[in-house]
Amino acid sequence: MNMKMTMRLLVTLLFVLTSQSLMAVTLPKAAAVPGGIAIVPLGIESASAPIVKFNDKRVMVAPDPEQKNHWLAIAGIPLSAEKGKHQLVVETNPAQKLVSFEVKDKKYKTQHITIKNKRKVNPNEQDLKRIKEEKQEIVASLAQWSDSDALNTKFVIPVKGRLSSPFGLRRYFNKQPRKPHSGIDIAAPEGTPIVSPADGVVITTGEYFFNGNTVFIDHGQGLVTMYCHMSKIKVKPGDPVKQGQSIGAIGKTGRVTGPHLHWAVSMNDVRVDPGLFFDNLKKVATAK
């Protein structure tokens, strides 16, 4: 092998390694607002990732691409968060360090929806018992934490279709106020395949009163995605899934007005805007 070919191979190898390194730190867009994501430099030097908490919940940590052995916290901000200063708790030896960041205000639009099945708005006593039991499983799934060196935050869209309800809407069902919309709705024909946006492991699946047929996927470091109202589920708890792998199909189970996917993204047990994982969510969702 001559010198020119050797140099070419070395340059190619360097390019591949650099590309993989950059991919490893591909992060969602920062938006320090209620329902957004704060990306906060921790200002400490460590060969290993520190443990960081926000509101007593573990927070995703990634290498800072600008400084070797420095770290970034990627924290989901609750929709209920108030404007002003908030603090991360960084576990250091021997004491804790507090790192502050600022949350700005954001106003979300209001949406009024008419539900024909009145029990889906005002459940009866038997329904409420079922809802209470299901809530425990849903809450536990969304709060899942698994240690992972890989950051699976470079998403593909789980299904293409019309964005029928954006994230954060202040919702009224049959003129009655309910919690803000904690995901996005993508309308598509019943049976349209739904795929996993990134590699992960299925936490659980179920058929729930409000959510219908639902899948939860763990992508590591507190990043969990939820898929609701499905017509069919093609995975089971414990299954590893690859980015782009089919996990089921669009349906209209649970509390719906038509076939669609309700897709929620959770970080540190906080529902955040899925649009922050794309440069242009609408363009990606509706592209042919």
Output 9 or 223, whichever has higher pLDDT. Answer: 223
Banded pLDDT at 177 (limits 50, 70, 90): low
Provide CATH 2.60.40.1590 ranges for the chain: 27-103
Q: Which fold has domain 110-286?
A: Glucose Permease (Domain IIA) (2.70.70)
pLDDT at residue 168 tops 80: yes
Banded pLDDT at 178 (limits 50, 70, 90): low
Share of the chain above pLDDT 70, in %: 87
Q: Would you state the pLDDT for residue 35?
A: 96
- As a dihedral over the C-alpha atoms of residue 245, residue 57, residue 54, residue 154, rounded to 10 degrees, the angle is -10
Kindly state the average pLDDT of the residues 123-137: 92
Distance, in Å, from the CA atom of 163 to the CA atom of 166, rounded to the nearest integer, reads 7
Output 77 or 124, whichever has higher pLDDT. Answer: 77
Q: Would you state the pLDDT for residue 142?
A: 97
Q: Which CATH superfamily is domain 27-103 in?
A: Peptidoglycan hydrolase domains (2.60.40.1590)
Provide CATH 2.70.70.10 ranges for the chain: 110-286
Kindly state the average pLDDT of the residues 96-121: 83
Output 259 or 113, whichever has higher pLDDT. Answer: 259
Long-range contacts (CB closer than 8 Å, 24 or more residues apart) made by 42-51:
42/70, 42/71, 42/72, 42/73, 42/88, 42/90, 42/97, 42/99, 43/70, 43/99, 44/70, 44/71, 44/90, 44/92, 44/97, 45/69, 45/70, 46/70, 46/71, 50/90, 50/91, 50/92, 51/90, 51/91
Q: pLDDT per residue over 73-105, tens digit each?
A: 999 999 999 999 999 999 987 778 999 999 999
Residue where the block lists tokens 């106020």: 177
Q: Would you state the pLDDT for residue 118?
A: 75
pLDDT at residue 287 tops 90: no
Q: Would you state the pLDDT for residue 23?
A: 39
Question: Beta 70-76 vs 84-91: how paired, if at all?
Answer: unpaired
- As a dihedral over the C-alpha atoms of residue 71, residue 220, residue 222, residue 39, rounded to 10 degrees, the angle is 30
Q: pLDDT per residue over 15-60, tens digit each?
A: 333 333 333 468 999 999 999 999 999 998 889 999 999 999 999 9
pLDDT at residue 284 tops 70: yes
Q: pLDDT per residue over 211-253, tens digit each?
A: 999 999 999 999 999 999 999 999 999 999 999 999 999 999 9
